Amino acid sequence: MTRYRNCFLAFTLLLVASCGGGGGGAAPSPSVTVSGVKSSYWQDEAITISFSTANMDRTTVNYSISGLDEGYNFTLDSKAGTFRTVSDQYTYAGEYSYTVTATDGSGKTASRSFQFRVDAVVTGSRFFIKDDRSLFISRSRDGLTAAFAAANPYGYRVDNLICFGETSVNGAAWSGTLNCGGQLCNGFFCGPVSRAQIESDVNDQGTGSIVFYRSDGAQVEIWSESEAYSEEIEDFRGWPTNTEIPGRYLPVVIAHQYDYTYPRGSQISFWDDTLVMPEIVIGSDYKIVTEVPASNTSACVLNGEIGQLALDEYDLVHGDKGESWRNSKRQISGELQATNCSDVGVRSSGISIDQPIGPFMAQLDRLDGGGLVLRFHGSGVDRPFIFAALKRRD
């Protein structure tokens, strides 16, 4: 029996040795985990990124971040391991790359790098100025962009140049190409424009580049290093709230993008007879339809919906980081379809706001008496359009 017992013991020791049992293997390495980081954020969006450790004494861990300018854009809670944006101010647009290092009381350390981008909030309106001429540009947060030329110093209306399209923001860089209809004037000379290419850096308000092209691809004009300014609004009455938007709107004017000889200040009526005006109805669900009175002779029909991002933007801009955008006119966006809206009104013959289902943008203006005006921009069928609608009642 003793012989068998000894054989079993020898076999057991051999098995343990072959499996590495009884050895003193290396301890797991300390490490840092980064949680909550996204690839991109808005300037007025709160950022919270958390750090945690493994194989370290968490009760004594302290975190540090190389290159962090504490309190400028971000702040670090070194004990809790929380990296946040500074409250009550927007974050500078651009690319960010950091390395977080954790150190515990016994001297163990671990590091991990993380990156993200902060995209500029280019919403509202601004002017690009070149040789006493200016291009007025409006943009929604989701990138829809409309442009028209302002009156030139010779007293002619040149806002027959109307452009619409989508621009993108990557950090501080803002760029894109718009489709255009109408003409760009320089003094008394005006030439047709079919598209405009925009490039700008929002961190440098003094620079911007716009290149205008004809339909054959030839350059009409280049506005290089043109001055860019945010629109200054006197007696600004604040952003209309989301609950103010629903209601019944009456289309009142359409931009005259096909003739540049109208005197300054003149407007073209959309419908001359109020009895034939269809009402644009925006419901509490933010869907857009038209209702036609029994006496109405217009066949113009609009259908669409305001997008969720446009609605969510109100809370972002009115949060603790959005103060810089509250003094700009509110832009909303979504999808819109317009059919049978050609040759609307006697005086606007030849102008159409027809478009297949597609993106639209609208600027909300609050009038002196508190009423609202929606200034719609769309791509149209063959060239962009602008029309305005006045809110008549809820």
CB 326 within 8 A of CB 317: yes
Question: What whole-number distance in Å separates Cα of residue 151 and Cα of residue 135?
Answer: 9
Query: What letter represents residue 67's amino acid?
Result: G
Same domain, 61 and 185: no
Query: What local confidence, expressed as pLDDT, does residue 132 receive?
Result: 76
Query: What local confidence, expressed as pLDDT, does residue 281 receive?
Result: 95
Query: What local confidence, expressed as pLDDT, does residue 327 receive?
Result: 82
Same domain, 141 and 65: no
Between 184 and 44, the more confident residue is 44
Same domain, 143 and 194: yes
Last residue within a domain, chosen from 85, 119, 153:
119
DSSP bridge partners of 40: 117
pLDDT value at 79 more than 70: yes
The answer to whether position 11 is within a domain reads no
Same domain, 267 and 356: yes
Strand intervals (E) in 2-93: 31-35, 40-42, 48-54, 62-65, 74-77, 82-85
Query: What local confidence, expressed as pLDDT, does residue 19 receive?
Result: 45
Same domain, 62 and 167: no
Handedness of CA 168, 172, 173, 174 (dihedral sign): positive
Between 185 and 60, the more confident residue is 60
Residue-averaged pLDDT of the chain: 82
Query: What local confidence, expressed as pLDDT, does residue 300 receive?
Result: 83
What does the pLDDT look like over 238-271, one tens digit per residue?
A: 899 999 999 999 887 765 444 433 333 444 444 4
Percent with pLDDT over 90 in the chain:
51
Give the pLDDT band (50/70/90) at residue 234: low
Least confident of 8-12, 126-130, 151-155: 8-12
Query: What local confidence, expressed as pLDDT, does residue 270 receive?
Result: 45
The answer to whether position 303 is within a domain reads yes
Query: What local confidence, expressed as pLDDT, does residue 276 receive?
Result: 57
Same domain, 114 and 132: no
Query: What letter represents residue 99's amino acid?
Result: T
Between 379 and 272, the more confident residue is 379
Tally of residues, the chain: 394
The answer to whether position 160 is within a domain reads yes
Query: What local confidence, expressed as pLDDT, does residue 315 receive?
Result: 94
Last residue within a domain, chosen from 204, 230, 256:
230
What does the pLDDT look like over 101-119, one tens digit per residue?
A: 999 999 999 999 999 999 9
pLDDT value at 198 more than 60: yes
The answer to whether position 6 is within a domain reads no
Same domain, 247 and 388: yes
Question: 185-219 burial string, b = 16+ CB within 10 Å, else e?
Answer: beeeebeebbbbbbebbbeeeeebbbbbbeeeeee
Same domain, 379 and 246: yes
Structural domain including 355 reads 242-393
**Rounded mean pLDDT, 8-23:** 42
- Global pTM? 0.82
Same domain, 83 and 192: no
pLDDT value at 307 more than 70: yes
Same domain, 288 and 260: yes
Contacts 24+ apart (CB under 8 A), 270-278: 270/344, 270/345, 270/348, 270/387, 270/388, 271/298, 271/344, 271/345, 272/345, 272/346, 272/347, 274/250, 277/250, 277/251, 278/251, 278/302
What does the pLDDT look like over 369-380, one tens digit per residue?
A: 778 999 999 999
Number of domains in the chain: 3
What does the pLDDT look like over 313-351, one tens digit per residue?
A: 999 999 999 888 888 889 999 999 999 887 554 344 556
Query: What local confidence, expressed as pLDDT, does residue 172 receive?
Result: 92
Same domain, 200 and 216: yes
Same domain, 55 and 91: yes
